[in-house]
């Protein structure tokens, strides 16, 4: 048994979730977490809403709300969205908690004491229209490296290069379109050059990463520079006592703040569970940690976050770890591509959007999850269309898997009303069950590598094999004892495949087990209410019971209920 931390990128609390948000890392991280629970590992899956920084301020201004009110509004919306998609977070919290604030300040203070945070000058951009400091991500211009027109002030999504706002050609404010004025201000910097040798050594020892992610991470370190971790802004985690403590317009940079959320949410989970020290099992020793995000966040998870962990834990004999002790570095950083629509990146602000809440009105959550697992931007960008979604859901989920379950379970119910009791299996049945049994190891290995496209394809090939066996054997024509032999083998194949599909399809898998007379425990997220300093909010939580990743033998003579269709067909024309 291994303790496995599944750390999922934090969405900004500035709007509802769209399919671009959930396709790259939300659903894949949940499939991975569910599988690991089924393998008997102790999983802690954490995330929450990122509630600080300019994205929140800008949206709050648009809606005429305070940043705090806006954050709470969209935290509730996002929580509901993710719950209804079956995201099995052990905790889905917020970056506005007191636990988070203290964790951010503690990691900062220990990194500062160890000498890995220094004071320095940084050129900052100011809007001439509002007088407000513009964060890097709210300055756009032409990338000096690849010529992309909409590169951001911290990174170009087109070529992946790290940027400074002053690097951009023809920079402009994303908020008001003005040409920013640059001026120098004093800020705290994370000394990446001092940590570079340790980061390089860590990367060399990492195994199983996607090739492009590792290559990108190594390339980043070649040109490591000190990175500013504070900003001139009045909404964010305040600094602890020090040179800027009394400055109301100095806060931690949102990415320093948000990254610490993986730790603070683990602390918050332990506090909720009444076991204050329990979090350490997922952060120290032999515990493993897997971080899921989009490719635009590789920089922060392969360079900035490991550097923060090293700086605060200490890398030299004379360094002193923070009060949290020596914390583990990421085992794997699992970064996905972008889901696009007609070649354009999903973006609420640009009107390229399909909201999850709207999609859930016409499409079952398992169908959405199936489509994302089959067609999501796993290792490279993928283009979304309702037509492709219809083809995948109707042609595979409904026609292959749903049809197999319905055929087998209906035949058993109508002919026996219970699982048949064969004297032995025929050659075809033996071959089928040999294939599905091997599938546990083959599919499991693929999920462990986060190769979900291949894993799902393997399962559906096995479903096709089961459908062919049923069609060739023709149990509707067979007499006893052959009818029992065929349908028992088919029932066991359905059970095997249902176990393998459980991480992908958590809503329907308990129903399939019930059709086969097998017990199961729905493993769906719950929501609890939490209150702090007079404010109440919702929080996704567990616990989650998991079926074992192994064959669940169907029991001869077990009574079975009348089955019903599992999935509805999806019609693209209804989404136009």
pLDDT one-digit tens code per residue, 328-374: 999 999 999 999 998 888 877 677 889 999 999 999 999 999 999 99
* pLDDT at res. 76: 98
In angstroms, the CA 53 to CA 290 distance is 25
Give the C-alpha distances (Å, rounded to integers) separating 276 from 271, 323, 324, 541: 5, 14, 12, 17
In angstroms, the CA 411 to CA 355 distance is 39
Identify the CATH number of the domain in which residue 240 sits: 3.40.50.620
The residue with tokens 């201004």 is 61
Identify the CATH number of the domain in which residue 558 sits: 1.10.730.10
- On the question of pLDDT at 573 being above 80, the answer is no
The residue with tokens 């099992």 is 281
What residues does 189 pair with on adjacent strands?
A: 118, 228
Q: What percent of the chain has pLDDT over 90?
A: 82
300 and 442 fall within a common domain: no
Q: Residue 8 — pLDDT band, cuts 50, 70, 90? A: very high
Residue 131 burial (CB count, 10 A): 8
Q: What is the DSSP letter of 132?
A: P
Q: What is the pTM of this model?
A: 0.94
Range with the lowest mean pLDDT among 254-263, 268-277, 288-297, 370-379?
A: 268-277
Q: CA 448, 390, 346 angle in degrees (round to 5)? A: 70
In angstroms, the CA 134 to CA 247 distance is 18
Structural domains in the chain (count): 2
Residue 112 maps to a domain: yes
* pLDDT at res. 89: 98
Residue 146 maps to a domain: no
- On the question of pLDDT at 418 being above 70, the answer is yes
pLDDT one-digit tens code per residue, 497-516: 999 999 999 999 999 999 99
Residue 189: alpha-carbon gap to chain centroid: 29
pLDDT one-digit tens code per residue, 455-489: 999 999 999 999 999 999 999 999 999 999 999 99
What residues does 18 pair with on adjacent strands?
A: 355
- The whole-number average pLDDT for the span 517-531 is 93
90 and 202 fall within a common domain: yes
* pLDDT at res. 349: 66
Domain that holds residue 237: 3-127+180-361
Domain boundary among 361, 381, 408: 361
355 and 408 fall within a common domain: no
Q: Residue 3 — pLDDT band, cuts 50, 70, 90? A: very high
For helices 403-415 and 452-473, what crossing angle results, to 10°? 40
Three-state secondary structure of 224-257: CCCEECEEECCCCCECCCCCCCCCCCEEECHHHH
Residue 16 maps to a domain: yes
What are the helix (H) ranges across 300-426? Answer: 305-313, 356-362, 365-375, 386-392, 403-415
Give the C-alpha distances (Å, rounded to integers) separating 511 from 12, 403, 557: 35, 14, 19
Average predicted confidence (pLDDT) for the chain: 94
Q: Residue 64 — pLDDT band, cuts 50, 70, 90? A: very high
Beta carbons of 287 and 281 less than 8 angstroms apart: yes
Three-state secondary structure of 192-219: HHHHHHHHHHHHHHCCCCCHHHHHHHHH
401 and 272 fall within a common domain: no
189 and 319 fall within a common domain: yes
Domain boundary among 334, 361, 388: 361
Measuring CA to CA, which residue among 110, 70, 506 is closest to residue 308? 110
Three-state secondary structure of 333-356: EEEECCEEECCEECECCCCECCEH
Burial readout 274-298 (b: 16 or more C-beta within 10 A, e: otherwise):
eeeeebbbbbeeebbbbbbbbbbbb
Range with the lowest mean pLDDT among 133-142, 318-327, 429-438?
A: 133-142
190 and 282 fall within a common domain: yes
Beta carbons of 24 and 338 less than 8 angstroms apart: yes
Residue 297 maps to a domain: yes
- On the question of pLDDT at 275 being above 90, the answer is no
In angstroms, the CA 7 to CA 18 distance is 20
Q: Which residues, 6+ apart, have CB-to-CB distance to 433 below 8 Å? A: 425, 489, 492, 493, 496
- The whole-number average pLDDT for the span 32-60 is 95
Phi, psi of 169 (to 5 degrees): -90, 130
- The whole-number average pLDDT for the span 167-194 is 92
Measuring CA to CA, which residue among 129, 131, 130, 152 is closest to residue 140? 152
- On the question of pLDDT at 121 being above 90, the answer is yes
Residue 538 maps to a domain: no
| Burial class for 66, CB neighbours closer than 10 Å (0-12, 13-18, 19+) | middle
Q: What percent of the chain has pLDDT over 70?
A: 99
In angstroms, the CA 97 to CA 49 distance is 11
* pLDDT at res. 149: 86
424 and 355 fall within a common domain: no
Residue 523: alpha-carbon gap to chain centroid: 17
Query: What is the CB-side half-sphere exposure of residue 77 using CA atoms within 13 A?
Result: 18
* pLDDT at res. 262: 99
Q: Residue 233 — pLDDT band, cuts 50, 70, 90? A: confident
Q: Which residues, 6+ apart, have CB-to-CB distance to 228 below 8 Å? A: 120, 122, 187, 188, 189, 190, 253
- On the question of pLDDT at 30 being above 60, the answer is yes
- 3 state DSSP class of 459: helix
In angstroms, the CA 429 to CA 432 distance is 5
Domain boundary among 335, 361, 387: 361
228 and 300 fall within a common domain: yes
Residue 331 maps to a domain: yes
494 and 566 fall within a common domain: yes
- On the question of pLDDT at 534 being above 80, the answer is yes
In angstroms, the CA 404 to CA 442 distance is 21
Element (H, E) at 280: none
324 and 402 fall within a common domain: no
In angstroms, the CA 448 to CA 208 distance is 10
* pLDDT at res. 116: 98
Residue 530 maps to a domain: no
Element (H, E) at 108: helix 98-113
In angstroms, the CA 323 to CA 106 distance is 8
Q: Residue 124 — pLDDT band, cuts 50, 70, 90? A: confident
245 and 185 fall within a common domain: yes
- On the question of pLDDT at 376 being above 80, the answer is yes
* pLDDT at res. 576: 56
- The whole-number average pLDDT for the span 263-279 is 93
What residues does 539 pair with on adjacent strands?
A: 528
- On the question of pLDDT at 137 being above 80, the answer is no
Range with the lowest mean pLDDT among 149-153, 283-287, 315-319?
A: 149-153
494 and 443 fall within a common domain: yes
Residue 343 maps to a domain: yes
- The whole-number average pLDDT for the span 171-177 is 88
């Amino acid at each position: 048994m291994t303790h496995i931390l599944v750390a999922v990128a934090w969405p900004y609390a500035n709007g509802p979730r769209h399919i671009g948000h959930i396709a790259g890392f939300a659903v894949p991280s949940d499939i991975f977490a569910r599988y690991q629970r089924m393998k008997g590992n102790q999983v802690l899956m954490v995330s929450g809403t990122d509630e600080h920084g300019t994205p929140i301020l800008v949206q709050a201004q648009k809606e005429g709300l305070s940043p705090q009110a806006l954050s709470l509004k969209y935290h509730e919306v996002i929580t509901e969205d993710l719950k209804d998609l079956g995201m099995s977070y052990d905790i889905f919290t917020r970056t506005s908690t007191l636990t988070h604030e203290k964790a951010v300040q503690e990691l900062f203070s220990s990194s500062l004491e160890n000498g890995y945070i220094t004071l320095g000058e940084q050129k900052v951009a100011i809007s001439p229209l509002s007088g407000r400091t513009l964060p890097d991500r709210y300055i756009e211009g032409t990338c000096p490296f690849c010529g992309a027109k909409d590169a951001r002030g911290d990174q170009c999504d087109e070529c992946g290069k790290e940027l400074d706002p002053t690097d951009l050609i023809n920079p402009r404010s994303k908020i008001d379109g003005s040409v920013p004025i640059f001026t120098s201000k004093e800020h705290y910097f994370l000394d990446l050059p001092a940590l570079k040798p340790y980061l390089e050594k860590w990367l060399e020892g990492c195994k199983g990463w996607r090739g492009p992610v590792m290559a990108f991470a190594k390339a980043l370190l070649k040109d490591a520079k000190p990175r500013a971790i504070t900003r001139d802004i009045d909404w964010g985690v305040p600094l602890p006592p020090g040179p800027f403590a009394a400055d109301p317009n100095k806060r931690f940079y949102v990415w320093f703040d948000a990254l610490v959320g993986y730790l603070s949410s683990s602390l918050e989970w332990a506090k909720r569970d009444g076991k204050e020290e329990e979090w350490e099992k997922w952060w120290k020793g032999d515990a493993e940690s897997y971080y899921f995000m989009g490719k635009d966040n590789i920089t922060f998870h392969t360079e900035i976050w490991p550097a923060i962990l090293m700086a605060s834990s200490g890398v030299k004999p004379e360094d002193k770890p923070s009060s949290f002790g020596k914390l583990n570095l990421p085992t794997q950083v699992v970064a996905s591509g972008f889901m696009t629509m007609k070649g354009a990146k999903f973006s609420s602000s640009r009107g390229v959007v399909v909201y999850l809440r709207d999609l859930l009105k016409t499409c079952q959550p398992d169908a959405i999850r199936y489509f994302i697992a089959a067609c999501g931007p796993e290792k490279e960008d993928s283009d979304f269309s309702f037509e492709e979604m219809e083809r995948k859901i109707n042609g595979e989920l409904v026609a292959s898997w749903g049809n197999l379950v319905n055929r087998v379970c209906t035949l058993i119910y109508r002919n026996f009303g219970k699982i048949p009791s064969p004297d032995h299996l025929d050659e075809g049945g033996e071959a089928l069950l040999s294939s599905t049994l091997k599938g546990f190891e083959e599919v499991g290995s693929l999920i462990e590598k986060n190769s979900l496209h291949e894993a799902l394809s393997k399962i559906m090939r096995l479903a096709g094999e089961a459908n062919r066996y049923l069609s060739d054997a023709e149990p509707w024509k067979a007499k006893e004892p052959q009818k029992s032999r065929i349908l028992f083998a088919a029932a066991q194949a359905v059970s095997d495949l249902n176990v393998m599909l459980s991480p992908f399809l958590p809503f329907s898998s308990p129903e399939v087990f019930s059709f086969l007379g097998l017990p199961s425990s729905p493993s769906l997220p719950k929501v609890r209410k939490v209150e702090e300093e007079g404010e109440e909010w919702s929080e996704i939580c567990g616990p989650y019971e998991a079926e074992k990743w192994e064959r669940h033998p169907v029991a001869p003579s077990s009574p079975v209920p009348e089955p019903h269709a599992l999935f509805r067909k999806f019609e693209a024309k209804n989404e136009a």
